[in-house]
Structure 1
Amino acid sequence: MRKKPSDEQVARAERQIVEYAKTVKFTVTEYSFEFIVQKLNSDRYYVPSYQRKLVWNKAKKSKFIESAFMGLPIPFVFFWQNVDGRLEIVDGSQRLRTIRDFMADKIKLSGLEILPALNGFYFSDLSASRQLKFGDIAIRAIILDNSTDAVTRTEMFARINTGGTTANDAEIRRGSLPGPFMDLVIELANDPKFVELTPISQSLIDQREREELVTRFFAYVNSFDGDLNEGAGDIPAYREEPRRFFFSFVKQMNDALAVEQVPDQDGASPTAEAMQDEFRATLDFIDAVSPNGFTKSETGKQVPRVRFESIAVGTALALRADETLAERVTDITPLLESSEFQEATRSDAANVKSKLLNRITLTRSWLLEQ
């Protein structure tokens, strides 16, 4: 028989729902294609950087235009009202760009099956009345209030994106949360030793996987409190909502490092320099004690996030606790080949907090016991 949640669990769930719902304020309106194009052309509506390279292929663009001619309902587009009054396109940028480009004669329709007579047509090939009717087609829009923070906004983008091609979290963070910490992440993601220790495919490189790994490293290392849980340690800010956790951490660090930057010292931040030193010290240690870096074998071309987190974060925390570690530990192969490590770095339920803490503290404890 299924065990029902306790009254306390139900109350906690209700509080989370109410708390999150308060962060989302919006209005609903309706715009014509012609109006949308005017606003795009004047830059009143803009595509954020993390979405600019997400572009439909020719077939998808033609199919969308065909659907509009057929009178099919068009999904909502989502905007966020910036503090300067401009609207950022949170979701729907590819639809809106397709409309704009078609009306600017930049798209030739092709591959249409329901309305094949339109194949080969540009917008200017349509009759004058059909052009006007196309411009009058309405699309409904939801406008998020500018009080909606970046974390909530990007979380919504990831959940409601209907374009079929989505930016990943690292790309969204890079585009929506620029600042000194993101600059540090990008710099370290391209560090030669880090690149050497993380041999991954070109597709993952293009998806900024190394930036994701660097972000996770700092978020976990700097959020870990070893005094909690009777000395076992905890990451109190982590509540099994990794996307929100990482976005919040990046924003906080951007703000903190920006305050520290000194203009007459080339914008140097003591905290950023310390973070950089710790990251590179961790890499030096792993390079010395792990024959295959973060991979499973000498020819490995994969760096599972759970494996990276266990090795990198656990090592950094151990080095913080014992500066003499590098003098005593010469090889972590016994750890990496142990059944405990294999079990701890399985990818199932990777975001469950207990699993995260287990894989981090396993490496930390093993190193400190040597």
Structure 2
Amino acid sequence: MAKATRRKRPDSETVAEAERQIAEYSRTVKFTVTEYSFEFIVQKLTTDRYYVPSYQRELVWTPKKQSKFIESVFMGLPIPFVFFWQDKDGRMEIVDGSQRLRTIRDFMADKVTLRGLETLPIVNGFRFSDLPMSRQLKFVETPIRVIILDNSTDAVTRTEMFARINTGGTIANDAEIRRGSLPGPFMELIIELANDPTFIELTPISQPLINKREREELVTRFFAYLDGFDPTLNDGAGDIPTYKEEPRRFYFSFVKDMNDQVATELELEANSPTIDRMKTTFGDALNFIEKVSPYGFTKSETGNQVPRVRFESIAVGTALALRADPTVADRVEDITPLLNSTDFSAATKSDAANVKSKLLNRIRLTRNWLLNQ
């Protein structure tokens, strides 16, 4: 029998830092709990006092899933909490539960015909108005528990909560959430560059990933890591000091801050120096990679996927090298030796991809290789 390995307990400093981070985060989530009837909530939805944020609007349950939910209500099963957040106008944003609430609203409006039910098959084909009046009244008076987040809860925390607690079965990914909840001039730049013809050619990905805005995710990561990288730290090795291994919060905060920065610049001038700089940086990196990498960001001529870790290493590492030494663009003609190396293969494995040390390692690897050519 193999001998069990003794687990190394965290030291006191690590325990203290863990407690500090837990306490700091828990203070950002304040809420109250209440209970509303279906009828009350539907009335608020109808008058747009309660609303679905844009990043959730395209997420719609199938008719069968809607029917299953209504069946669960008939059966008296517990309904999961709904999360609201009150915006500055006093309206309630549905952070989680929009599909349940829309199903209730549509069923009460006779827009849902029950189908595919197995526990209560007798009601297949029913609409709300087909139910006896007593059952209709019981349905509209059904209570649902609601958690209302304090309006001081920031957008980063709300969208992170949505991603963590979503109970709808269909969930927006991070790129969709950022696009919907962070409109602004920098987000417009991300969308524009994600549709750049050269970028599209270098990132041949599947249609489902395109639909999930994977290219927007890649562009966001490119700028977040590049702008956050300080080459003077760690004795010249470089670091991203704002990255704390919380990628969702890191990207969200970055986009929000850049939106604000660019908006301020546009208020003062017709053009934004930041936007101009980023377009040039992105274009220079793409032109270089198109020249030196036979398959762009993929592994082969027929490749149809771009692993994020691979993209980050090549794209961010290239941009950092060009920033440190612009002559790299003229000196280096092929990066195949790097891409075929065991070091690159090890650095771009997807396991523990968000660990800061691994992120820095894969970015530095490409940067250093290019600078040493």
The interval holding the TM-score normalised by the smaller chain is: over 0.9
Q: Secondary structure of 2:89's partner?
A: coil
Partner residue of 2:364 out of 345, 361, 366? 361
- How far, CA to CA, are the matches of 1:16 and 1:72 in structure 2? 37
Partner residue of 2:229 out of 209, 224, 228? 224
CA RMSD of aligned residues (A): 0.8
User: Map of 1:232-247 to 2, 5 A cutoff?
Assistant: 232-247=237-252
The residue number in structure 2 matching 1:273 is 276
The residue number in structure 1 matching 2:319 is 316
Q: Does 1:330 align with 2:330?
A: no
- How far, CA to CA, are the matches of 1:228 and 1:239 in structure 2? 16
- How far, CA to CA, are the matches of 1:175 and 1:30 in structure 2? 28
User: Map of 1:140-219 to 2, 5 A cutoff?
Assistant: 140-219=145-224
Asked whether the 8 Å contact 1:262–1:269 carries over to 2, the reply is no
User: Map of 1:254-269 to 2, 5 A cutoff?
Assistant: 254-262=259-267, 265=270, 268-269=271-272
Report how far residue 269 of structure 1 moved. 1.0
Report how far residue 132 of structure 1 moved. 1.0
- How far, CA to CA, are the matches of 1:88 and 1:126 in structure 2? 31
Q: Does 1:291 align with 2:294?
A: yes
AA at the equivalent of 2:281: E
AA at the equivalent of 1:65: I
Asked whether the 8 Å contact 1:193–1:283 carries over to 2, the reply is yes
- How far, CA to CA, are the matches of 2:120 and 2:331 in structure 1? 73
AA at the equivalent of 1:234: D
Q: Does 1:350 align with 2:353?
A: yes
User: Map of 1:65-214 to 2, 5 A cutoff?
Assistant: 65-214=70-219
- How far, CA to CA, are the matches of 2:233 and 2:136 in structure 1? 66
1:264-311, Cα deviation, whole Å (9 max, x unpaired)? 73xx21101111110011000000111110000011101000000000
The residue number in structure 2 matching 1:250 is 255
Report how far residue 14 of structure 1 moved. 0.5
Report how far residue 262 of structure 1 moved. 4.0
Report how far residue 263 of structure 1 moved. 7.3
AA at the equivalent of 1:33: F
Report how far residue 326 of structure 1 moved. 1.0
AA at the equivalent of 2:300: S
AA at the equivalent of 1:366: W
Partner residue of 1:25 out of 19, 27, 30? 30
1:67-124, Cα deviation, whole Å (9 max, x unpaired)? 1011110000001111111011110000000000000000000111111111111101
Q: Does 1:40 align with 2:51?
A: no
TM-score by length of 2: 0.98
AA at the equivalent of 1:158: A
Asked whether the 8 Å contact 1:151–1:248 carries over to 2, the reply is yes
TM-score by length of 1: 0.98
User: How many equivalent residue pairs?
Assistant: 368
Identity over aligned pairs, percent: 76
- How far, CA to CA, are the matches of 1:316 and 1:143 in structure 2? 44
- How far, CA to CA, are the matches of 2:140 and 2:55 in structure 1? 28
- How far, CA to CA, are the matches of 1:330 and 1:264 in structure 2? 39
- How far, CA to CA, are the matches of 1:16 and 1:79 in structure 2? 25
Report how far residue 51 of structure 1 moved. 0.5
- How far, CA to CA, are the matches of 1:192 and 1:216 in structure 2? 19
**Structure 2 CA distance for partners of 1:239 and 1:264, relative to 1, 3 Å:** closer
Q: Secondary structure of 1:261's partner?
A: helix
Q: Secondary structure of 2:83's partner?
A: strand
1:17-67, Cα deviation, whole Å (9 max, x unpaired)? 110011101110101000010000000000011111111111110010011
Report how far residue 346 of structure 1 moved. 0.6
Consecutive unaligned residues of structure 2, counting only runs of 5 or more, are: 1-5
**Structure 2 CA distance for partners of 1:78 and 1:109, relative to 1, 3 Å:** same
- How far, CA to CA, are the matches of 2:267 and 2:88 in structure 1? 27
Consecutive unaligned residues of structure 1, counting only runs of 5 or more, are: none
